Structure 1
Amino acid sequence: MQLLLIRHAESENNAKPVHNRVCDPSITARGRLQADCLGKWISGLAIDQLITSPFLRTLETTRSILQHAHTAPRRYPISVWHDVFENGGCYHGHHEKNFTGADGLGKTAIHTFFRDIAAQFPDHEPPPVKLDSEIEESGWWSGRDRESPEEMSERSRGVVERFERTFTQQPGDEMLGTRDGPVVVLVAHADFLREMLFHMLFGRVAMDSIGPIPNTSVTSLQWSTMGWKLTSLNSVTHLPPRLVTGHQAMLS
């Protein structure tokens, strides 16, 4: 399996002071340009599975990837995973004294989002979208408080194991992709991707050498029976210098 870890395009929270953050921001005008560049670059890849978090900023980044597909959206089967969200979950507030949980997008809202994308294609065929059963109608984070750092670390470990379990090619299996395994893309968040890399590369790479994760940057890893191998880190070659953001601080 080849796994591409991609941070979402610049969000309104990335571009504003922390006290102005909202629970589920859209991407900015600059973020839309970043996502457009990412979509053009990634359209040349043969992707077998595209996975995104249920946050709006990751869904909007994913939209640009679909819009630049050379064929119908079904070229990129999409899964929305409930467990690849950013550190803390979906919440209001900017300080531990005023944190309160927010619902996040619900099942129908996410399906409608992808149907609206399909309306832009000549055949109006929606992409094949599968949502985790944990994403409820009331919202994917409904009824929960802010997640703790310890819970986030444990969750990221579980997600790494989920990738290994879901996409590892066993002898005799007929899986998507080539004989080397499928090409899988995950669109997620800076802090969460960093935590995933910590578990994937534990003991082999010093995490303080990785640096900030820029918006729409691409990190590539290869999985084999020997474990995870890092093949590229935080690449932004698809972006002109004026569009590189998030490279000076770790922002979600």
Structure 2
Amino acid sequence: MSRLQILLPLLMLSLLLRRSFSSSSLPQPPRLRLILVRHGESQNNVLNLVSKQHYRENRFADPALTDLGERQAAATGEYLASPGCHPLLSGVTTVAVSPFLRTLQTSKPIVAALRGRSPSLPVELWPDIYEISGCYDGLPGSETSNPGLTGAEIAERFSYPPPASLPPSSGWYTHPGRESYAEGVSRIGAVADRLRLRAADLCAAGESETLCLVVHGDFIDVLLNQLLHMQKDPRKARFRTYNTSISAVDVFGDGMAACLFSNFHEHLKGEMCKREQLGVV
């Protein structure tokens, strides 16, 4: 018997099994699916390409997206709303956004594209899902707190209603000075706990939700480590993510989680996918 005669039945069986397990008719357990989108290229990302020192001396407290970052965000929205979107990334039911300018700008075309298919898609501003270190001015050792955009500015520019905890005339960043890494990990740990409770409530009701969070690189790294119950060394990223890459994890009622994707970025083409710089923080 030839090698082809041996392999052909195995290949056919593999295709049949793949079709069977990918069938949408299979029952799906209740869960909270988190789709984590990192923001597009920002002004600070570009500064960091020159050198760490250049970034420290010229950084913006609340940087905007670059033109490239805007295109990356638009491409991400188009992908998530397209019929060709991977089934595990489709069907977003809620969007939550970090209050930094770069995440707000990244979310805008994503929300517009998703609302093209689901006009009533809710969007929530979450003031506690910002990047580690927070919003601050100044050089290392002399940092001062920067309040960031106010609730009224966010509502006017992006039409996202600010939460009750953010008065219209106040900036969202209330931490005194620069947030330490340990403080950031503790804050993100509280976010992870809240998401586990959300998953538990959903599963108790026999329901599922797909929540898209538009956030930041270090935030995604720490959150995934927290949700997956992985011990993490400070400052050593385990989940490096590119600008507007997509990571996804399912959280279940018992607190367990399953990582579906990490750093998916096949929706970025050509200039939008400069691999030599997409991983910068």
Which TM-score band (shorter chain)? 0.7 to 0.9
Partner of 1:244: 273
Residue from 147, 166, 170 that aligns with 1:135: 166
Partner of 1:103: 147
2:118, 2:166 → 1: CA distance?
22
Structure 1 residue 135 displacement after superposition: 2.3
Q: Give the greater-gyration-radius structure (CA).
A: 2
Q: Which moved more, 1:198-207 or 1:144-153?
A: 198-207
| Residue deviations 1:18-40 (CA, integer Å, cap 9, x gap) | 12111111100000110111010
Structure 1 residue 209 displacement after superposition: 8.2
Structure 1 residue 241 displacement after superposition: 4.4
Residue from 112, 117, 123 that aligns with 1:78: 123
- Give 3-state SS (helix, strand or coil) of 1:68's partner: helix
| Residue deviations 1:120-169 (CA, integer Å, cap 9, x gap) | xxxxxxxxx44333323220014621111111010010001111223441
In structure 1, what residue type is equivalent to 2:129?
V
Structure 1 residue 49 displacement after superposition: 0.7
Structure 1 residue 54 displacement after superposition: 0.3
2:67, 2:112 → 1: CA distance?
17
Contact 1:43–1:68 (CA under 8 A) maintained in structure 2: yes
Partner of 2:74: 36
Contact 2:148–2:173 (CA under 8 A) maintained in structure 1: yes
Partner of 1:149: 181
Residue from 98, 115, 128 that aligns with 1:53: 98
TM-score by length of 1: 0.83
1:160-179 to 2 correspondences below 5 Å: 160-168=192-200, 169-171=202-204, 173=205
Compared CA separation, residues 28 and 46, structure 1 to 2 (3 A)? same
Residue from 182, 197, 222 that aligns with 1:195: 222
Partner of 1:186: 213
- Give 3-state SS (helix, strand or coil) of 1:199's partner: helix
Contact 2:98–2:125 (CA under 8 A) maintained in structure 1: yes
Partner of 2:37: 6
Number of residue pairs aligned between Structure 1 and Structure 2:
232
Contact 2:243–2:278 (CA under 8 A) maintained in structure 1: no
More helix by percentage? 2
Contact 2:196–2:255 (CA under 8 A) maintained in structure 1: no
| Residue deviations 1:185-215 (CA, integer Å, cap 9, x gap) | 0010111111111111234899968452100
1:61-76 to 2 correspondences below 5 Å: 61-69=106-114, 71=116, 74-76=119-121
2:122, 2:162 → 1: CA distance?
11
- Give 3-state SS (helix, strand or coil) of 1:186's partner: strand
Q: Where does structure 2 lack aligned partners over 5 or more consecutive residues?
A: 1-31, 48-53, 83-89
1:139, 1:164 → 2: CA distance?
28
Q: Percent identity?
A: 27
2:164, 2:135 → 1: CA distance?
18
1:188, 1:3 → 2: CA distance?
12
Contact 1:213–1:247 (CA under 8 A) maintained in structure 2: no
Partner of 1:234: 263
| Residue deviations 1:198-241 (CA, integer Å, cap 9, x gap) | 11123489996845210001001011126110011100010014
In structure 2, what residue type is equivalent to 1:51?
A
2:71, 2:59 → 1: CA distance?
21
Coordinate RMSD, CA, aligned: 2.6
Q: Where does structure 1 lack aligned partners over 5 or more consecutive residues?
A: 116-128, 174-178
| Residue deviations 1:78-126 (CA, integer Å, cap 9, x gap) | 1111110011111012x422311101011111111223xxxxxxxxxxx
In structure 2, what residue type is equivalent to 1:78?
V
Residue from 32, 36, 58 that aligns with 1:20: 58
Compared CA separation, residues 221 and 102, structure 1 to 2 (3 A)? same
Structure 1 residue 46 displacement after superposition: 1.9
